[in-house]
Each structure stands twice: as structure tokens, then as C-alpha cells.
Amino acid sequence: NAGVMQNPRHLVRRRGQEARLRCSPMKGHSHVYWYRQLPEEGLKFMVYLQKENIIDESGMPKERFSAEFPKEGPSILRIQQVVRGDSAAYFCASSPQSTNTEAFFGQGTRLTVV
Amino acid sequence: QQQVKQSPQSLIVQKGGISIINCAYENTAFDYFPWYQQFPGKGPALLIAIRPDVSEKKEGRFTISFNKSAKQFSLHIMDSQPGDSATYFCAAGHYGGSQGNLIFGKGTKLSVKP
């Protein structure tokens, strides 16, 4: 059973470009959470999705950021018109149910905006 | 009431020594306190967790001590090994609640010297 898969592992974008980060949850997991980790900072919750639904987006910036988890395929975190401040590690976690005791994290995507 | 304060920011311990990391929370309604271990280039992994009905939980060389009245909990790593070198995050939230509602500390970078 493969773990949570994130790709790409590293992504470099110029200011103004779009970044698309992908997360394939563990088999049997239908709940996905996205986090951002800045240097010297803890994990900051961004968004929680189930298949085809956004459940909680209270941590998402109001502009330029969006997320989806389609019926088929991975969850996508999309950042439009990236700025230097978007440079961070982005992690997703998945769980079989909406519970914090069974979530597993992927290895993250490290986004660098130049 | 939603902060989790973690200290120290970094810690250097000799092999065989005891590593101690402390966290303090504010929300008295929290009843779930997990610790995550993150190796460089990897995602966080759940290490050990405690609930307020016990004051201590031990798993191998890892022990959580919990002080409900002081709203503090700590991770003790006995007989620390170089392989324990990682960043450790504490978190707090509601047991069984959404993974997205966990509040994370800023992390402690542990280096165990051989």
C-alpha cells in the first residue's frame, strides 16, 4: 500500500506563473488536507477536501489559491500568479475518515519562487 | 486561545542523553495532543499521542508527560540516538476531530551527537 504521494517534489516558478501541486492519497482514503510550512514555522492548515467537495477552506488565502479533489485523480492545490512569499513546503495528508488520529502525510512539494 | 507554544527551537544532545521538548497550549477544551517527527526532506509522521485522562504515556524510548492544570505537555526521548535527529512538532486539538483543526507548534530541531 503506497503512502501519500505528492508531486512534484520540487517546483521552481517565476513570479507571476502558476504552480500546480498534486496529492494522491493513500488507497482507501477519501479525506485530504493541505498544509503550508514556512521555514522555522510549524504546519499551517490550508484546506480540507473530500471527493468533489471542499469541507473547510478556512486556512486558504482569499486570492490566488484554490484546491480541488475530483472524483477521479489526485487532489490539486493551485497557486496563481505566484509571489516570492509563496515559497514554502506544501504538504498534504490523507485519512480514511474525518479524524485526526489516522492521517498520514506525504513527503511534500517544495515550491521556490524566483 | 488557538496557539501552541513549543520550546526550545533547537536542541543538541549527546548520544545516550535525554532529549526534552516542551509545549504549552491555551484552549482548555483540547483533548488530543500528538507529537510528530519529521526527517529532512520528508513529511511529518505521527510519533506518539496522549489524551488528558492520563498524565504519562510511554512507547519505547519516547514518553509524553501531560500536566492538565498547567496546560503543558512534553516529549522525553530517553537514550537519544543519532537516528533520532529530526524536527519534532507538538500539536493540540480535539480527539477524533478534523486533522485540519490540529494546531501545531513551530517545531524543535533535535541533533543527537555521536
- Per-residue pLDDT at A42: 83
pLDDT digits (tens, 9 = 90+) for B56-114: 999 999 999 999 999 999 999 999 999 999 999 999 998 887 777 889 999 999 999 99
Interchain pair B32, A93: CB under 8 A = no
Q: Is A51 helix (H, G, I), strand (E, B) or coil?
A: coil
Which residue among A40, A43, A100 sits closest to B93, beta carbon to beta carbon?
Answer: A100
Least Cα separation, residue B18 to chain A (angstroms): 23
Q: Is some CB atom of chain B closer than 8 A to the CB atom of A4?
A: yes
How do beta strands B86-92 and B72-77 pair? Answer: unpaired
Task: Report, as an integer, the average pLDDT of B9-15.
Answer: 97
Residue B74: how many other CB atoms lie within 10 Å: 18
- Cα–chain center distance at A16: 19
The whole-chain average pLDDT of chain A stands at 92
Nearest to B85 by CA among B112, B108, B46: B112
Where does the pLDDT of residue A7 fall: very low under 50, low under 70, confident under 90, or very high at 90 and above? very high
Q: Which residues are CB-neighbours of B34 under 8 A, at least 6 positions away? A: A100, B46, B47, B48, B49, B50, B90, B91, B102
Q: Which of residues 55-84 of B touch A (CB under 8 A)?
A: none
pLDDT digits (tens, 9 = 90+) for A40-77: 788 899 999 999 899 999 999 999 999 999 999 999 99
Interchain pair A108, B97: CB under 8 A = no
3-state helix/strand/coil string of A7-21: ECCEEEECCCCCEEE
Where does the pLDDT of residue B41 fall: very low under 50, low under 70, confident under 90, or very high at 90 and above? confident
- Per-residue pLDDT at A96: 86
- In a mutational test of the B interface, the residue from A33, A41, A100 whose CB has the highest number of chain B CBs within 10 Å is A100
Which is more confident, B2 or A89?
A89
C-alpha cell at A90: 506544501
- Counting every residue, how long is chain B? 114
Q: Is some CB atom of chain A closer than 8 A to the CB atom of B3?
A: no
Q: Is A85 helix (H, G, I), strand (E, B) or coil?
A: helix
Where does the pLDDT of residue B1 fall: very low under 50, low under 70, confident under 90, or very high at 90 and above? low
Residue A47: how many other CB atoms lie within 10 Å: 24
Which residue among B42, B96, B107 sits closest to A100, beta carbon to beta carbon?
Answer: B96
